[in-house]
Amino acid sequence: MDELTQRLTVDQPVIMGGTNPTVEELRTRTGDMGYMLIKFTETRGGTELGVRLDRDATDLSAADFDKGTGTAHVEGTLVLNYDPVRCIADIDLATLKGTGRLALEENVPVSAE
Angstrom distance (rounded) from CA 100 to CA 80? 15
Segment 46-68, tens digit of pLDDT? 999 999 999 999 999 999 999 99
Kindly state the helix (H) or strand (E) to which residue 87 belongs, with its residue range.
strand 83-92
Q: Answer whether 10's CB lies under 8 Å from 94's CB.
A: no
Angstrom distance (rounded) from CA 38 to CA 96? 10
Which of 96, 78, 101 has its CA nearest to residue 18? 96
CATH class, domain 3-108, is mainly beta
Angstrom distance (rounded) from CA 1 to CA 4? 9
Q: Answer whether 90's CB lies under 8 Å from 99's CB.
A: yes
Spans of all domains in the chain = 3-108
Segment 89-103, tens digit of pLDDT? 999 999 999 999 999
Name the band, by pLDDT with cuts 50, 70 and 90, for residue 106: confident
Angstrom distance (rounded) from CA 50 to CA 70? 23
Q: Look up the pTM and report it.
A: 0.91
